[in-house]
Each structure stands twice: as C-alpha cells, then as structure tokens.
Chain A
Amino acid sequence: MLLIKCPWCGPRDEHEFRCGGQSHIARPGPPEAVSDEEWSRYMFERINPRGVHYERWVHAFGCRRWFNIARSTADHTIFAVYRMTDAAPQLDGSGESGQ
C-alpha cells in the first residue's frame, strides 16, 4: 500500500493511482522506417530489474495527471517522483539492472 507523493496533489494512497509500466519508452516511427523487430520490442519487451525501476503512474482518482516514479522493485522504496517530461534522475543502483 504505497504512499505516493503526486507532484500536484501531495501524498495519497496507492488506491488513487494506476501504474502505467516502464517509462521513457519512445514510440518509434515513422511506421515505414521501423522494422518488425523494433516494433515488437516497443510493444512487448520490457526490462525486469531488481532494484530501481523508472515507471509511469497516473493519479486516476485525483488530478488525472501522469508522472514518473523511480521505485525499488525489491522493497518498494520510492526514490524519486518527477514529471513525465523530465529525464530520469541519476540514481546509484540499489541492485543490478535487469538488462
């Protein structure tokens, strides 16, 4: 039951949010320039790290705005909350990356 600090509304229960999975995935295009493999990776391939995971969240039952969270998949510690348009913060790894 995470306590998430929405950048606009402040700390709220996890119930009010929805997780949108891995963040910082750019949509490849234009379609004619994208190979089947690249498109498949965009649709299906996701990292699975033990440690910091940069992921999208939306305050669905609140302000309905999307933002990013850097969260530990091992013990759910939230390291950072930052805007959708910001770059991922540089964090020292607590755990190895899954790639």
Chain B
Amino acid sequence: MSEGQPFRLAVGGAIDRSRPLRFTWSGRTYTGYAGDTLASALIANGVKVVGRSFKYHRPRGLIAAGVEESNALVQLGEGARSTPNIRATEVELYEGLVARPVNCWPSAEFDVGGVINLASRFLIAGFYYKTFMWPSWHLFEGLIRRMAGLGKVAPEADPDRYEDRFAHFDVVVIGAGPAGLTAALAAAAVGRRVALVEQDCLLGGSLLQDSAIIDGLDGDAWIAAARETLAAAGVTILTRTVATGYFDCNALALLEGLDPGRHGAGRPRYRLWQVRAGRVILATGAIERPLVFSGNDRPGVMLAGAVRHYVRRFAALPGRRFLVFANNDDAWRTAEALADAGAQVVAVVDTRRDLPPDCVSRMAAREIPVFAGAAVIETNGYKRLRSARVRHATGQVTDIACDGIAMSGGFSPTIHLFGQAGGKLRYDKDLAAFVPATCPQAAVCVGSAAGRFDLADLLENARAAGEGRPATKPARVAFGIQPAWQIGGSGKAFVDFQNDVTAQDIALSARESFRSVEHLKRYTTLGMAPDQGKTSNVNALAIMADETGRTVAETGTTRFRFPYTPMPLASFAGRARGELFRPLRRMPGHARHQALGAVFEDIGGYLRPIGYPQAGESRHDTEQREAAAVRAGAGLFEGSPLGKLEVVGRDAGAFLDRIYANRVSNLALGKIRYGLMLNELGIIIDDGVVTRLAEDCFLVSTTSGGADRIAAWLEEWLQCEWVDLDVVVAPVTTAWGVLTLTGPHARAILEAVGTSIDISRASFPHMSFRKGEIAGMSARIHRVSFTGELSYEVAVASSRVPLLWDSLIAAGRNRGIVPVGLDAWMVLRTEKGYLHVGGDTDGTTTPLNVGWDHVLKKASDFVGRRSLTLPHNRQEDRLQLVGLAADDGKILPIGAHMLDAAGRSQGYVTSSHFSPTLGHGVALGMLNGGARRIGETVTLRTLKGLERVRVAPLCAYDPAGDRLNG
C-alpha cells in the first residue's frame, strides 16, 4: 500500500504514482495521484463518510464512480470560486484542491444535524404538507430555510470566464466507450464530419473498468489506436464534455469543462457548445441500479460496477471485507476483481435460486462462499458498515461481518437524451430495463444504451450506426437478471439516496391514492434531487407498479428534461455579463454629452443623458435648473433615438390612414401632424408626428422605444394583410441624428449659426417642415415641440451631429443655451399636459381615454377602430386623462390612487413633477369620467395618508400656446 494512502493498491490503475497531489478534505490534508478523482483519492485514503443525507442527516459514503453518484456532493473551492454540490466522482484531483462535504456541521463524521435522524419516523414523504402550518407557517419558515438546501453559493460575483461555441457536424457521437468509439470510427471512415463527445477526461467508457480484446488489441491499446485514427481523420474529440440537452432538429447543448487544475485568469472554466447535428448516435451506456433493502445506505454499500471501477481504474480499494449482493451475473465480476486485488470476499449473496454453473465454479475456485436464493435484509453500523444480515433460502438468518457491500439490481440504459429528443421507450422483460424504441428525430442508441450487452453484437451495430445503416438484429444475450425490486426488511430501505426517499414512502403514496409516476415523483420528491433519479427512477416505478397492481410497462417512466446533469448558471450567461449583458447603443453626440459631464441612463437600449449636473447639484437641482433655463433662454437636447420611418409609394397615404387613428392622407406637403397608433384592441401602442415630404412620401416618427417595433408593425400589415398596397417602408432612424433646439431664443440662435431657410414666424410656422442648410450642413428641420416652447428639431447625417452640436452651442453661448437631459425634458412636457405613451398610458388606454374621441368621426377604417365601438370602451365614466394639482402645491406621488366616497379607486396619478416655472407641483392622472370633472376636488391616498387634490385642465403652462406658435 502507498504511504499515507492505506487503501491504495501498489500497482495498476490509470493513475500516475510519480505525481502525488496534495488536497484538503473537510479541513484535513491528504495525498492522491494525478489521474485520481476526488472520490477515488478519498477511497484510497480510507475516508468512509463523505456527507450527510439531505433529510435525515444519515452518514453516507460513496455509492458510485460516475455522474450517478448520489451521496458525495461537495463544496469545491473557496472564496468567490467556491462551487456547491459538485459530485466528488467528477472532480479531477489537482494540487491544492480544497473541498468539504455539504449539509453537515461541523463535519460529515460528527454532524450536529444528525439528531434529526431520531425524528425520522415523522419525516415521511410529504410531511411538510401536513405540518408547520399552525399557528402560522412563517414561524417555521426561517428555521426551515436555514436547514434546507445542500451547499452554499458564493456571494461574490463568479470571477471565472465562461465561453460559448457554435458548431455543425454531420454526425455527433455521444459517449466514447467501445460502442461510441466504433461508431465514430465508422462515420469518419465514410467521410462524415464527426464530433465525439465524452463526459470523462479519458476515452474508453466501460473499457476503463472491464477490459476486453477488440480487433486483437487489449482495451488500452485499442483506445489509443482509435484515438489516433480519429484524430487523423479530423474528428473533433471533446472530453470532459457532457451532452446535457437534446432539442428540436438535432440541436444539442454540450457543457465542456476545462481542466480544472489549470483554469485561472483569462482561461475559461466552462464552454457551452450549441451544436446542430445531421444525426446523433447516443452511446451513453447504462447505469447500475441499487437493490432496495433495509440499511442499503450505510457507508460501504456501493454499486458493484463502481467497486470494480475504483479497483481497476484508480487502484483504490473501497473496503477489505466485501459482500457481493446481486440479482444478475454482472456483479460476480466484482467479486473476482476484489479477490484479485487482495481483498477478502466474504460471500456472494444472490436472490436467484438457480445460478449459472460457471459463475458458481469460478467462485468455488477462489473459495468464496455463494448463497443462492438469499438476500441481505438488514445492515449494521452507523458510520461504517460492520455487518450484513443475510436471510438464506432455507429461511435461516445469519450475520456476516463486512465493511463493504457491492450491490447490483440490474442496469438501466441511459436514455435521457433519447427521451429529450422525443424518443419512446419499451420495457424489456428479459433485461428488466427500459430500452429505446422509436424516435421522431435522427437519433439512434448503440451499445448498452440500446440494451445491447454482448460485445461482438454491439460493435457490429455501432459500426452500422456510424455508417448510417439500419440497426443490426440484437443478440439475445442478457446477464440472467431476475428482478428483485423490493427486498423485505424492517428498517428504512432507500430508493432515492439523494432526497432520502424510501420504499416505505412509495408505499405511502400508493396508500394515499397517487397513481401516476409523475405524482409519485412530486409527492415523494423522488428523482427531483440534482441526480434526477439516475439510480432511483426505475426501482421506484417498479415498486409503485407492485403497490398499485400494475406491470412495470404499464406504470411507465417520468418525463426526461434538460439538463442531464447540473450546469453552472454562469455557463448560460457565457460572455454576456457585466458590460456585455445587453447591447447598449450610444447616440451620435455621445462624446459631447460625456465631455459635459452628463449622467447617463439606459433608456430603451440607448445611453441617454438624464441631466448635466454642475458642481454641488443634486439630481433634482439639475432637473429644475435645466427646465427653467429652457423657458428662459434655450435648451439643446439630442433626440436621435426617436424612430424615423420613410413610408413611400403611391398608396403611402392610404396605408397610413389605416395605421393611424387620425387622418394622414390629407396632410399638405411640408406639413406635420401628431398621431396615435393603435392595435386591434384599440389600445395606444405608439404616438408621434408624421411629416409629408412629398406627394408619395411621408416621414413617420415614433417613440424611441417604438423605432424597431413600429417598423416591424408596418411591415407585418403590408406583408400579411394588405399585400396589394404599393408601399415601401424604409427605417432611417440611425441614418439621421437629431438635435432639438427649444426655447424663446431658439430662432435667434438659428440665425446666428447660419441657415439657408427662411425661419421667420410667418414663413416657417409651427408643425411644418423645411429642408436646407444649417451651419453649413444639409439638414431637415421639423418645427414640432415637446416642451411647449418655440422648437426646431434639426436632423443631419448622424456623423455630423457633433459638429452641429458645437455650432449650436457656440451660437447660443450668449443667448442662454443650456444642454438639457431627459429629467428636465419630462418636466417641460408635463407642464404642457403632453401625453407620454407608456407613462400616462398602459395596456388598457385607448384614444377615448386621452381626449381623442374625434377619431370615431374618421370616415375610413383603421386598425383598432372596431374595438373602440365595443361597449366597454364607450362607458361614460371611463378613465380619462386630466391634470391634477395639490392644494398646497406639493408634488403628488405617481401611482397614488384617487378614492371615491366608498373608498374604491377612481383613478391614479401617472406623471408628476415640480415646475420651476410655475412654482408648484404639476401632475397628470387618469380619473373616472375626468373630462367632465374639471374643477372638482377629490381624495388622494398616499403613503402618508389622505390628501385633497384638484382636477385641472391638462395644460398647466401657456394653454393658449403663444410660446408654441412664436
């Protein structure tokens, strides 16, 4: 034995004894070798208890060697990289590894939570539906939340790097055991573009624990030769890669874990591959099933194949005195492997009465006692297995001292991905397993995943699959299994180790009249733990079948869902984190705003200034100063994100008449009109102005959030419904940058900056459009106003916005020009009572709620018209937009409701600011029947209590529009 590793064999195994690795487990330091997993290193060091079970806090040891491990969930790493609930069997050992068990304190060996085991008879399946309710669930909530769950999530941001890859292959082979390697070789040989995906770090699959002669070579040599051939053929080989999802049209999700010992700054920890395959070959193997007997969860009780795996691949001995307990021939190979490794096999206990003679003679040759028609009905030992109680065929009961039980209840083909692909299963009585039947997608199973266990047969079939030929006829060879779904016994017989579900729980759910396996699963939580029932599902439904008087085939399986194994959340995010989480657009004038110290916010996907604070200003101060400055002198605002769509064609006007609630086709050349767009329910979806540029050309402007949405909306109508209209829609939002110059000095500033356009009041009235030159640049100018002041929206080519900005600022310097952000912009429009779609409106607001009743007089049909005539939209007391003013001039809280005499809501505040110009708060809101209630006083409920507010006209500032039309 190796020094310090009392259970390590001196020779053998795919480990490198020249490279010892130190690691820390539960605070103690141990040594393992390169090639170990954390699990095999713990076994070699004689660590028996690796964790505590989820519900009962029972001591648990390793049960398996692969992804199906249920007990050894560990907290891996420390600090920000600490990852919870990783299976120790999947952790490749590296120097300096730190891990600890989850769900126990202070350690797995001595766990304070173990006292729960004393109350275990009350903690049956579904106990939480019947308890912790009186007097109030919340009394128990804190304690239960603290005790629930397994590992801990690191509170710091994950510093590791996660990547995405996308790829296409003709053939994807999942699993690199003998069947998978053969299929990949065959596919490559006929010239396909192939990917071979293997979850382990080594190729070989079952050959790593049970060698065989293939093509005259022993396992290792054959694997090496296969690898060389595949590499030479250009096959993409991905190891440490789990295929976790199979979606429509052969889309696969593969999670590639990079060598954990070497990941660090800049090197990715995981890669998520999204792969599209021409066809998929699933060589995913089969997972062994435990036997369900009392005390089958004690540390030392393991799956027989896993015991072999540790002995042969890792040269680690899980115990020195083993008992083999099985209902099939395969487990007997474990007895031989253990004997060869120098362990004592105290007995082979087989539930079958008639045993294959060659198995019996092989055991006789090694002087290993065999008990046919017998069963282990009980085990002894709390933190380590000490003995097994065996009931013999005669009925006699003996206790046999042992420190390990290698159990096998049969094998379940790993058909999870096949199931995700939509594949249907068939119950094979000879194998006592569900095997793949048909699949609507191009997926085939090979090897033990297909229920083929004879080597020659599965290799021939894998070759056929690789070449794209139909499946070969299966050999009728099994391993003599006789199902023994439940062994009798008085104590807890575990079915799902990870969620602590016992055979008694399954019987309970049958007694409580649950019939469907889907209900069984959710009532008992069987199969719902991170291992998703890999070792428990089939045992459970077979027991359920028994309890409800049905066959296993009739009972069926639960549905298989993505992902096959747990995946880190960060792998879904990939590179889209932090600054890359969402694409953010910058306006053409961004550098100018930045240079002026603008505070930016993400509004509708654009970084936009909410204000340009000066020294010592709060956000409110900046807002008030800028708003006042606009009404006093002039403000400069970038409006580039607002949507601009050119609608061109002979039928452009007629088309827009159908889209807008108001009429557009009669708009004169060079004139502008404000409009509302509705959906077919009559709800306002966007607003904006439309400009007639030419006889057959209109420029539609949308809200900045509507730029893409409305362009798509117009296309949908033209392509799907009104396909004969002669119209083209050209989105030009990003081609033009727009600066709005607004305020009483706006005209003077434009004159100072120089323009070819006659901007006198008479020649260029409000709501009209001109083309010409401004500051030496070709421009479109729309005289529209969102602020209620004299306003020019100047549009130039996007790239010229900074130059235009500089020119206007320079020309306006002595005329009180001020850059204006969105905060102040919103104050100005609220003072005027202008609509803010999405602020004052919601998913129920129609034109009839905002004072646009006249649209019903429009002669022609438009989108949403018919809905406006439905009774619920015509009610006299419907919500209507009004102005609101507090008696004391204070700012009203947005969202506060106005109450009627009965205390019911009759409306709410939608917009609210303090007006620097008026010196009091201005607000807008929706009020039942508001249009006829101007002047009334209503009660408003705020967080502070009840207040009185006056219903006012929408426009609080310059209602006559003198400044607007100046």
Contact = CB atoms under 8 A, between A and B. Distances in A.
Interface of A: 1-3, 13-14, 20, 27, 29-31, 34, 36, 39, 42-43, 56, 58, 60, 64-66, 75-77, 84-85
B657 to A, nearest CB: 14
B712 A84 contact: no
Contacts of A56: 720
Contacts of A13: 276
A2 to B, nearest CB: 5
A76 B716 contact: no
Interface in B320-353: none
A3 B251 contact: yes
A75 B422 contact: yes
A30 B861 contact: yes
A56 B721 CA distance: 12
Contacts of B274: 1
A1 B719 contact: no
Interface stretch (B297-305, B622-630, B763-771, B864-872): B864-872
A56 B422 CA distance: 24
27 contacts: A1-B247, A1-B249, A2-B248, A3-B248, A3-B250, A3-B251, A13-B276, A20-B720, A27-B721, A29-B861, A31-B869, A34-B866, A36-B871, A39-B866, A42-B680, A43-B681, A43-B867, A56-B720, A58-B719, A60-B712, A66-B715, A66-B719, A75-B422, A75-B440, A77-B440, A84-B723, A85-B723
Contacts of B720: 20, 56, 66, 84
Contacts of B248: 1-3, 14, 76
Contact of A31 (B247, B250, B719, B865): B865
Contact of A36 (B422, B680, B716, B870): B870
B422 A66 contact: no
Contacts of A2: 248-249
Contacts of A20: 716, 720
Interface in B713-755: 715-716, 719-721, 723
B867 A39 contact: yes
Nearest to B441: A75
Contacts of B870: 36, 39
Given A39-B866, A77-B440, A66 B716 contact: yes
Interface in B241-292: 247-251, 274, 276
Please indicate which of the listed interface residues A1, A43, A64, A85 has the most CB atoms of chain B within 10 Å of its own CB: A1
Contacts of B712: 58, 60, 64
Nearest to B421: A75
A55 B421 CA distance: 23
Given A2-B248, A3-B249, A58 B867 contact: no
B55 to A, nearest CB: 37
Interface string B186-216: 0000000000000000000000000000000
A65 B720 CA distance: 10
Nearest to A72: B440
Contacts of A84: 719-720, 723
Contacts of B276: 3, 13
B723 A1 contact: no
B673 to A, nearest CB: 23
Contacts of B247: 1
Interface of B: 247-251, 274, 276, 422, 440, 680-681, 712, 715-716, 719-721, 723, 861, 865-867, 869-871
Nearest to A64: B715
Given A66-B719, A84-B719, A85-B723, 17 more contacts: A1-B251, A2-B248, A3-B248, A3-B250, A3-B251, A14-B248, A31-B869, A39-B866, A39-B870, A43-B680, A43-B867, A58-B715, A58-B719, A65-B719, A75-B422, A76-B248, A76-B249
Contacts of A75: 422, 440
Nearest to A68: B720
Nearest to A39: B866
Given A27-B721, A31-B869, A58 B716 contact: yes
Contacts of A66: 715-716, 719-720
A55 to B, nearest CB: 12
A75 B440 CA distance: 8
A93 to B, nearest CB: 16
Contacts of B869: 31
Which residue, B680, B716, B865, B866, has most C-beta atoms of chain A within 10 A?
Answer: B866
Nearest to A1: B251
Contacts of B680: 42-43
A85 B720 CA distance: 8
Nearest to B863: A27
A48 B722 CA distance: 26
Residue in B720, B723, B869 with the greatest tally of chain A CB atoms within 10 Å: B720
A29 B722 CA distance: 13
A3 B278 CA distance: 11
Nearest to A34: B866
Contacts of A76: 248-249
A29 B720 CA distance: 16
A16 to B, nearest CB: 13
Contacts of B719: 58, 65-66, 84
Contacts of A1: 247-249, 251, 274
Nearest to B422: A75
A42 B680 CA distance: 9
A98 B721 CA distance: 25
Contacts of A60: 712
Contacts of B716: 20, 58, 66
B736 to A, nearest CB: 20
Contacts of A77: 440
A35 to B, nearest CB: 10
A75 to B, nearest CB: 5
A2 B247 CA distance: 8
B168 to A, nearest CB: 10
A43 B863 CA distance: 12
Contacts of A27: 721
A31 B866 contact: yes
A46 to B, nearest CB: 14
A30 to B, nearest CB: 6
Given A20-B716, A39-B867, A31 B861 contact: yes
Contacts of A58: 712, 715-716, 719
A77 B249 CA distance: 8
B249 to A, nearest CB: 4
Which among A34, A60, A64 has the highest number of chain B CB atoms within 10 Å?
A64
Contacts of B871: 36
Nearest to A33: B866
Contacts of B865: 31
Question: 10 closest A-B pairs (Cβ-Cβ)?
Answer: A1-B251, A3-B249, A1-B247, A31-B866, A66-B719, A75-B440, A76-B248, A2-B248, A39-B866, A1-B248
A13 B167 CA distance: 12
Nearest to B717: A27
Contacts of A14: 248
A15 B721 CA distance: 25
A9 B274 CA distance: 21
Contacts of A65: 719
A87 B468 CA distance: 37
A95 B190 CA distance: 38
Nearest to A4: B249
A42 B861 CA distance: 16
A36 B250 CA distance: 46
Nearest to A75: B440
Contacts of B721: 27
B594 to A, nearest CB: 30
A82 B871 CA distance: 39
The listed residue with most B CB atoms (<10 A of its CB), out of A2, A20, A43, is: A43
B132 to A, nearest CB: 40
Nearest to B723: A85
A87 B388 CA distance: 73
A13 B867 CA distance: 37
Contacts of A30: 861
A68 B910 CA distance: 41
